[in-house]
Chain A
Amino acid sequence: MRKSTEELNKKNFEIVVVGTSLGGLEALTLLLADLPQSFPLPVVIVQHRHKSSHNRLTYFLQKQSSLPITEARDKEEILPGRVYLAPADYHLLIESPSDEEFSLYENDFTEWGSVAVESIHNSKSPIPNRGTPKFALSTEAPVCYARPSIDVLFESAADAFGEKVIGIILTGANSDGTKGLAKIKAEGGLTFVEEPASALCPAMPASAIANVEVDWILPLSKIAPCLVNLLRIKD
């Protein structure tokens, strides 16, 4: 069921995750072109692509966007107003900051380690920017034949950010992303799917719609304006 704009505004969304495969290049170009420079959230994208493809995708998308676009690096802090692309041939996940804190706290009173273990568990060593979520990469086996997999990104985003996630599925040829979108929905996040009729390849949006009670099904050109409106961004 669609939530009222009033209710949604109270949520303080913290991250946008986007998944797409076949036809994604054109779709992302349009989506990113419509996001203003003042866009307040990080946008993290999984686009299925060949494992040996290099930085050309970033370069190409950057030409159309006023937001800085980079490939996500392992343990890089996730910053608002930036667009991150999953690197080719790696899964991209999000590490919740509370998880690292928990493990640190746990280790503060660990007494049975060897000297070497103690030295890294030294509670006095400063922790840079505790509390900022970070990326993590993985070379685990492909999920839904894909690495990076949309499900993997979406599920870890839902895990780390709970209801503060906005998940978007665009054009694509398989069902990757459906499980991840379901998890975002289950955690109380907001879900968008590109209208299959307007998608270059409708399979991926159709699979998401068939399996998840999606909040918004919109033609591609309406997705970015809707986001901007929801987040009440003034240009």
Chain B
Amino acid sequence: MSESHELETIEIQLLLEGMFRYYGFDFRNYALASLKRRIWNTIRSERLTTVSALQEKVLHNPAYLDRLLLDISVNVTAMFRDPSFYISFRNKVVPLLRTYPFIRIWHAGCSTGEEVYSMAILLQEEGLYDRCRIYATDMNELVLKTAKTGIFPLKQMQEYTQLYHQAGGNKAFSEYYTAAYENAIFRSSLKDNIVFAHHNLATDNSFNEFNVILCRNVMIYFNSHLQERVHKLFYESLGMFGVLGLGHQESLTFTPYEKYYEPIESSEKIYRRVK
């Protein structure tokens, strides 16, 4: 490792250590390659030149922390993202859920909520929503605030409408929202059974037992140690025969928890706890 790399690594570790010890946000076990990229994006947008300079700002001024948190947590999402996942969920998971009198769903790392509202729409269409409670959690208060509003930019509705239909939806997607100025305000009934709450997968523990846990494209940002922690947390939070849904490029394959699950739809990374 060259000297400048070594120094950069030390500076980043100090920043992460400082954020954890002072504010309690633990990024120390995030996958470093992409985290580093996001930290440098922040450094450049704040017109700073070193990680140490950013550390000084963040530790002395909580406003910087909020900005950094927003920058280094990845909040790229969309309604009905990966439509094939929703089709599989309708066809393979919904029939299982029909057998339950009450359904608890944990959507971990929900970001600004687009995928949570998508699931609420799907469950409403399948006549299951009244029996459901969706716990939508994220570590970032700012994105949760957006998620709670259920208001998304109108200009994205064309794309979302397309994805909704690809995901097996057969209503007019515009039934679900009211357009107001630049925004689409989603039907408030979709929110009736959603609880938005703060939860950090890196530091917090389980808070209930669930029938379904969805955590898509979140764990790719963690290193293998943190992935293992989260898989343990999910395993312990799922009831027997509970369903775990991961992102397209995520899997249980490299984890010690693989043996406790069996695939419901392996191409969509939907699993069921069997042990």
Contact = CB atoms under 8 A, between A and B. Distances in A.
B178 interface: no
Contact of A96 (B33, B76, B205, B224): B33
A8 interface: no
A138 B224 contact: no
A152 B2 CA distance: 20
Contacts of B13: 102-103, 106
A162 B8 CA distance: 14
A197 interface: no
Contacts of A139: 74, 76, 217, 220, 247
A160 interface: yes
B251 interface: yes
Given A107-B28, A140-B74, A156-B37, 6 more contacts: A95-B33, A103-B28, A136-B34, A137-B249, A138-B74, A152-B37
Nearest to B203: A117
B1 A98 contact: yes
Interface string A93-117: 1111011101110110000111011
Contact of A74 (B21, B74, B229, B249): B249
A100 B223 contact: yes
Contact of B250 (A74, A104, A112): A74
Contact of A75 (B74, B227, B233): B227
A185 interface: no
A138 B28 contact: no
B29 A120 contact: yes
Interface string A24-43: 00000000000000000000
Contact of A136 (B28, B203, B220): B220
23 contacts: A73-B253, A74-B219, A87-B248, A91-B34, A93-B33, A93-B37, A94-B33, A99-B32, A100-B223, A103-B28, A103-B29, A103-B223, A107-B28, A117-B229, A121-B225, A139-B217, A139-B247, A140-B37, A140-B38, A140-B76, A141-B76, A160-B33, A162-B2
Given A103-B223, A106-B28, A114-B203, A87 B76 contact: no
Interface of B: 1-2, 5, 9, 13, 17, 21, 26, 28-29, 31-34, 36-38, 74, 76, 203, 205, 217, 219-221, 223-229, 232-233, 247-251, 253-254
Interface in A62-77: 73-76
Interface string A148-177: 000010011001101000000000000000
A75 B33 contact: no
B203 A120 contact: no
A4 interface: no
Nearest to A51: B82
A90 interface: yes
Contact of B220 (A94, A117, A138, A155): A138
A136 B31 contact: yes
A189 to B, nearest CB: 12
A119 interface: yes
Given A73-B249, A100-B223, A137-B220, A120 B34 contact: no
